[in-house]
Amino acid sequence: MPPLRCIRLAGALFAMFSAVVLPTAGAQNTPIVDVHFHHLGSRTDSSLTEMAKMGITSVVLIGLPAQLATTADRSDLRILRSLTLPCFGGRMPNSGMACYPGGGDWPSRDSIRAMVRTDRLHLLGEINAQYGGMRLDDPAMEPYFAIAEELDLPIGVHLGIGPPGIAYSDIPGPPQKSSAYSGQAGDPLALDGVLRKHPKLRLYVMHAAWPMRDAMLYMLYMHPRMMVDVSVLQYAIPRAAYVDYLRDLVQAGFAKRIMFGSDGSAARVREGIDAIRAMDFLSADQQADILGGNAQRFLRLGVPR
């Protein structure tokens, strides 16, 4: 074979190899950010250790003030503390302890400011208004959207999927029942006016509001700053349904707006990572963005606190 043809053939083969193999290796080594991990009580520290070994570099740890205060900073991964609200009934499930100082259903804005000022709070969420049958455009939510925008706190809101049978006391399943939980309160369109009123708000929709695809696609299209996470979908719904939903979001052009979240134990974290890596319709760059790159940009993780 003439030397020039050999060179061209070698170049073509290298290009083919690079396109197929090299991105996959990059995706395997990408830093991973979990934007949705709940405080697990005494199991939290061991779970965070396991997550660091999986390649998690940063985690949004969701909890109540007392829970967040008991979790120390770590050298093996970055912890971003996120305050969940409201707490309907004002008490921690199973413990009976007051959720917030003063014993109310909602934290005071002064307490939020104090936690931010002392670097003990970095986000607001999970916002559980839907569990009380409350839409996100309810007036009770307005002060919290306002303070999140004022303090530049990212805010994560629960929409869409909830535990099956949560509203029925006679159906086995969720340990904490909520007869007020409402599917209608989970409509992503309730955020339309909120985001227009607070244009600088950094907001992400948890669970990507599954299964409310059309409303979610509309909101992503109309509000370019909005993000979603895909937490819980890796185990709460059939895998084929998860794949179809994520594919719809990506094909609509929103691969840069999707973030990885687990919403479970360390085992659920691994399951979620593996699910993303197994989705063959995602390019290596898209996998890397979803697993960590998008969250790094949204949470500004390159900016020292």
The verdict on residue 305 lying in a domain is: no
**How many independent structural domains does the chain possess?**
2
Q: Which domain holds residue 20?
A: 1-30
Are 145 and 259 within one domain?
Answer: yes
The verdict on residue 304 lying in a domain is: no
Q: What is the pLDDT of residue 176?
A: 66
Q: What is the pLDDT of residue 28?
A: 61
How many angstroms separate the CA atoms of 4 and 12, rounded?
A: 12
Rg (CA), the chain: 21
Are 237 and 175 within one domain?
Answer: yes
Q: What is the pLDDT of residue 264?
A: 86
The verdict on residue 169 lying in a domain is: yes
Helices then strands, each counted (H, E), the chain: 13, 8
Q: What is the pLDDT of residue 43?
A: 94
Are 5 and 128 within one domain?
Answer: no
How many angstroms separate the CA atoms of 230 and 185, rounded?
A: 19
Are 163 and 141 within one domain?
Answer: yes
Q: What is the pLDDT of residue 58?
A: 98
Sign of the C-alpha dihedral, residues 298, 128, 185, 198? negative
Q: What is the pLDDT of residue 27?
A: 54
The verdict on residue 303 lying in a domain is: no
- Cα 161–Cα 164–Cα 170 angle in degrees, nearest 5: 150
Which DSSP letter does residue 98 get? B
- pLDDT per residue as tens, the chain (305 positions): 454 444 344 444 333 333 333 334 445 667 899 999 999 999 999 999 999 999 999 999 999 999 999 999 999 999 999 999 999 988 877 667 899 998 899 999 999 999 999 999 999 999 999 999 999 999 999 999 999 999 999 999 999 998 888 888 777 666 666 778 889 999 999 999 999 999 999 999 999 999 999 999 999 999 999 999 999 999 999 999 999 999 999 999 999 999 999 998 999 999 999 999 999 999 999 999 999 999 999 999 985 55
How many angstroms separate the CA atoms of 256 and 239, rounded?
A: 22
> Are 228 and 205 within 8 A, CB to CB?
yes
The verdict on residue 215 lying in a domain is: yes
CATH number of 167's domain? 3.20.20.140
The verdict on residue 276 lying in a domain is: yes
- Cα 271–Cα 275–Cα 276 angle in degrees, nearest 5: 125
Pure H helices in the chain: 3-20, 22-29, 44-54, 65-69, 109-117, 142-151, 191-197, 213-222, 233-236, 239-251, 266-277, 284-288, 294-298
